[in-house]
Structure 1
């Protein structure tokens, strides 16, 4: 299948696509460009919210607006764009990266150091009231997060620096077990963002690999999609019936970044996604 350009853009580090069911739109960010973007495929309408610092992810809130994983912590945007901190936790040399809303309505927020120092990042559960609970406290580059549709205690998680996708067994808000799910071979690139489809299969974007890969729940590779960019960053199902797969891409660090690097891509009708949960805060 040939990807199409959904939104032509020049994002430095496009990331975190998320389908906002209530708004019938896709939300995604440009981390280094300090922007939160939306795209409504039904109308073609786009919007951009400029923020004051690097933004790793933005997710819908159940009462409207967005929750954002920012450089200095977790922030809330009201529907009118008004900002407030939910958890202000600045650490010099560190920023927020990918995040996801868990089945219980909490936010799992990852961090990483700008220099990507080993063990310099974290994965933290943020309750709707802003209370943080550490999940993993030594991470290189905290990245993609998703949940099995067949087992709500089972999460998939990427620390890109390890080239692995792991499964996390989560009980009472704590990681009780961590196991390797997939390890990428040398030369394949690095696992970045991911999404889980209605069959329980895991779609992974390969940074520096120029591909999406789909793995079955037992870890077998069953589909590879070649992309016209070197640095796809993440993917998410959206659009009518959640059957279109959207892919964010990056230009940063490339000596030459021809189009469509930095744009939002789409693979129409490629699969069946799952409805997402909005953050309860």
Structure 2
């Protein structure tokens, strides 16, 4: 299959990395230590890994609905669960780092900052306005609440680490913050997604400092420059792409998760992990330091 781009641009061949029927595939993350891509199916409470070198896959059942899973510096995973932040050791043993259940709320997308802290979003199952939060979790478990949000979603940093990009999906915006030590400040809007084009969901930032964002209900990926200019659009065969991340050799391939939840007639590839080979240059990620 081919992925369409903006007029005048090159065309790249979109492929299926993992054919799957995930209800709510999310959070692709490249783990350089294992050479695998990690991603989750939130509503099925599953953590998937995929090795593009040999096609091998693993699936782990999490303790509860899992919004994100990220590598830890000493091995294992940090996970954003329904009731808080959990840790899996290299041996698979589970423990709570933060256990803070709130009825009707669950963890959603998360990302690890260049300093090794975890920035984790949450939301209410009924998506009530202001029902979620974006928190910073230090390696030792200290929590700082940064924002009140509705659907805490894509989070990423500029290559120099001085700017954080963030999506609270119902706002339709990609926002930008100045990073000041452990805090964020000076919120501004990079881009607003027009009505009818879907909602911004997960994002990643490439080595050029451009932001790639998945459009839920928009069947697209878009790439925006730091100035907010739309310079690439990738048409997708799935209506609900959820997030994207660079991975593979040299961090050149762009992996895309997708969902089938809520669709009456989902595309056969809905819920699969897609890949756009040689899409650009990714930035090496940082494992959670806890």
Fold similarity call, TM over 0.5? yes
Name the residue aligned to 1:274: 283
Q: CA deviation at 1:176?
A: 1.9
Name the residue aligned to 1:113: 124
CA contact (8 A) 2:47 2:69 kept: yes
Instruction: Return the TM-score normalized by structure 1.
Output: 0.98
Unpaired stretches in structure 2, ≥5 consecutive residues: 1-11
Report the RMSD for the aligned CA atoms in angstroms: 0.7
Unpaired stretches in structure 1, ≥5 consecutive residues: none
Question: d(CA) in 1 for partners of 2:146 and 2:163?
Answer: 14
| Pairing partner for 1:124 from 112, 135, 142 | 135
Q: CA deviation at 1:52?
A: 2.2
Question: d(CA) in 2 for partners of 1:122 and 1:169?
Answer: 19
Name the residue aligned to 1:197: 206
Q: CA deviation at 1:2?
A: 3.4
Question: d(CA) in 2 for partners of 1:216 and 1:21?
Answer: 26
Does 2:172 align with 1:172? no
Q: CA deviation at 1:106?
A: 0.3
CA contact (8 A) 2:72 2:78 kept: yes
Q: Deviation string for 1:12-67 (max 9, x for gaps)?
A: 00000000011100000000010000001011110001012100000000000000
Q: Secondary structure at the match of 1:23?
A: coil
Question: d(CA) in 2 for partners of 1:36 and 1:84?
Answer: 16
Runs of 4+ in 1 over 2 A off after TM superposition: none
Question: d(CA) in 2 for partners of 1:198 and 1:121?
Answer: 30
Name the residue aligned to 2:79: 68
| Pairing partner for 1:55 from 51, 66, 76 | 66
Q: CA deviation at 1:80?
A: 1.8
Q: Secondary structure at the match of 2:13?
A: coil
Q: Secondary structure at the match of 1:110?
A: strand
Question: d(CA) in 1 for partners of 2:81 and 2:186?
Answer: 28
Q: Deviation string for 1:258-277 (max 9, x for gaps)?
A: 31100000001111111000
Q: CA deviation at 1:171?
A: 1.2
Name the residue aligned to 1:36: 47
Name the residue aligned to 2:248: 239
Name the residue aligned to 1:101: 112
Instruction: Return the TM-score normalized by structure 2.
Output: 0.95
Q: Secondary structure at the match of 2:128?
A: coil
Count residues with an aligned counterpart: 279
Q: CA deviation at 1:173?
A: 1.4
Does 2:10 align with 1:4? no
